[in-house]
Amino acid sequence: MTVDKLEIVRSYRNLYRHALRAVQYSSPARYTLKSHLRLAYRSNGVEAFNSTRIDNTLLFLRHAAEERGLEHRMLKSLLHVWWWQAQP
């Protein structure tokens, strides 16, 4: 399976856009999310790209943005952990 650069950029932008909607553009969460998403895309190569996993993640983020259910609480907790780990 060959993946072109345009598909990778589109997946990054889709993930970032849906994640921002899920965290409702809140200030600490959006920057933590952006740094982790950038790190994931920069550290992993093309061979780690999996469109099925990205589709599943987009579906998860869509559900997290729609209502404050299980997905929203999971994302919120994960971002809190990432934020505290980044603190010196």
The model carries a pTM of 0.89
The beta-carbon contacts of 56-59 under 8 Å, at least 24 apart in sequence, are 57/15, 58/14, 58/15, 58/18
Structure tokens at 51: 């469109």
pLDDT confidence of residue 16: 97
11-30 tens-digit pLDDT: 999 999 999 999 999 989 99
pLDDT at 77 over 80: yes
pLDDT confidence of residue 13: 96
37-70 tens-digit pLDDT: 999 999 988 888 899 999 999 999 999 999 999 9
pLDDT confidence of residue 75: 95
Cα 45 from chain centroid (whole Å): 17
DSSP characters for 49-79?
--HHHHHHHHHHHHHHHHSSSHHHHHHHHHH
pLDDT at 1 over 60: no
